[in-house]
Structure 1
Amino acid sequence: MKQPIRLRGRGAMAAEAALEASFERARDSAPEELAFFKRLMDAIVYVHAPVSDDARTPRLVQFRHPDGFDAIPFFTSLGKAEAASSAAVKILGVSGRELLSGTRGATLMLNPNDGGVVLYPEEIATWLDRGFLARVERLAAVEFAVRPAQGAPDWLAPAISRSLEHANFVSSAYLLETHAGAEQPPGLLIWLVVDLAFAERAARLVTTAVQPLCSDLDVIIDVAVHDVSQPLPAGLDDPRILPIFTRIKPT
């Protein structure tokens, strides 16, 4: 990442306001979300670095997210960065493009003190490499029965498995067919058994991998996560249901 620059003044403040307005619009709209991330690439955002760090390539401060993972915070405005700072950090301005590229492999969180958004490494890499951003929608839990996925496309299970190869927080994955009654068509369910601290990351990882491949698929695919420390639900005791992915633990 290049040495960041700090920009202030009327133009910088107007740019901050435009970026924050775009972010608010993006919360409930897929097109606005895509527009925001395009704007973010050329916008100036703000990060924290250790105040004593004078390295040519800045080292950025991380914090422990309540879910148990480490993330680099960044902010849409200098004011938000100042509100979250301390005497131990200094504030640097850098373009969104340089930040995402320079911290590749890390987890970032935008505006963490204001209900911001987490960006996981797989999502950032897909955005940088292909300009694709998966749309994730949280749904309320519903009751349904499961059975082996007889009608799943041939490419789906391999695509799921490939996406999980380096995700050591995922223990196993199942591809199931759901049926909630005769009045509703069956759907597909990707059931992930994960370390619960990484539940959201696991779901978003698989969604990011699979969603671009589904444009011609006439079936709903849902993703669910299950705490690896808990027994599998009764529906998965069907001997015909086998995992499509199982992590081999080192001996």
Structure 2
Amino acid sequence: MEAWLERARVNPAEEPAFFRRLLDALVHVHVPVSDDSGRPRLVQFRHPDGFDAIPFFTAWEKARFASSSAVKIVQVRGRDLFAGTKGATLVMNPNDGGAVLYPEEVAALLDTGFVARIEKTPHTQFHVRPAQSAPAWLADLVSQCLKDTSFVMAAYLLEASTSPPEELPPGLLIWLVADLAFAERAARLVGTAIQSRGAELDVVVDVAVHDASQPLPEPLADPRILPIFSR
């Protein structure tokens, strides 16, 4: 797995193959040394971004480096780990800045063997207008993937470009209004849903997140722009 992990680090296009192999690979987790609960329990930690997560490791040496006298290291198949921790957030090799896998991504990996590739870009000033040429299924897909969340309050489907609309053919923008503590999870949830239908898209789709505790930005105050999802 370490060789596949290094390939994925060097070439992001290798990430899907790595995660598919992870399902059948043996990984390492921490469990309490003393545990009289009668059921397996995994150690969690508080991620710097403020959420609780279960760490797992692709190599025993990495698990040992992050261990303490209060834990022991056990092996488990990746598929069994993901299936047994549904609803939890996992972090792979946290001491190496490893990947965060949110619950929705774990579910997609188990169900389809697919994990979306998400690329963060610096904040960009968009020129937006109501979407006129979006695929008919896109609004329903986004609405469906958000309906069971508690941290996304609204979603808008827009045409957007970095130049005035009359100068450049627009791409699409999904603009989410969400609890800022869950901004990355919200964006990746939508990205996973969209990329699962990626073969049906011939246009770039960006995802932006607006802090729900702040007033709506000026573009979203346009009365022509209505949410495709609201809570």
**TM surpasses 0.5:** yes
2:175 matched to which residue of 1? 191
- After superposition, where does 1:111-150 map in structure 2 within 5 Å? 111-150=93-132
Paired letter, 1:87: S
Corresponding residue for residue 87 of structure 1: 69
Structure 1 distance, partners of 2:156, 2:41, is 39
Return the letter of the residue paired with 1:119. Answer: L
- Which digits, 9 at most, give the CA deviation of each residue in 1:43-83, with x for residues without a partner? 22111111111555411011111111111000111111111
**In the alignment, residue 88 of structure 1 is paired with which amino acid?**
A
Distance 2:39 2:12 in 1: 35
With normalisation by structure 1, the TM-score equals 0.86
What's the RMSD between the two structures over aligned residues? Answer: 1.6
Moved runs in structure 1, 4+ residues, more than 4 A? Answer: none
Cα distance in 1 for partners of 2:48, 2:12 equals 26
Aligned to 1:73: 55
Task: Report deviation, 1:28.
Answer: 4.5
Post-superposition CA distance 1:76-113 (Å, at most 9, x none):
11111111112221211111121111112211000111
CA distance in 1, matches of 2:206, 2:213: 22
| Alignment partner, residue 59 of structure 1 | 41
Tell me, in whole angstroms, the C-alpha distance in 2 between the residues paired with 1:28 and 1:191.
31
Which residue does 2:221 correspond to in 1? 237
Give me the whole-angstrom Cα distance separating, in 2, the residues matched to 1:30 and 1:80: 22
**Runs of 5+ unmatched residues, structure 2:** none
Deviations 1:158-184 (A, max 9, x none): 110100011101111111111323443
Instruction: Tell me by how many angstroms 1:114 deviates.
Output: 0.8
Q: Give aligned-pair identity as a percent.
A: 66
Q: TM-score, normalised by structure 2?
A: 0.93
Secondary structure of the residue that 1:48 maps to in structure 2?
A: strand
Confirm or deny: 8 A CA contact 2:19 2:113 kept in the other structure. Answer: no
Q: 1:246 — aligned with what? A: 230
Q: Kindly indicate whether residue 186 of structure 2 is the aligned counterpart of residue 212 of structure 1.
A: no
| 1:154 aligned residue | 136
Q: 2:203 is matched by which residue type in structure 1?
A: V
SS at match of 1:222: strand
- Other-structure match for 1:11: none
Equivalent pairs counted in the alignment come to 229
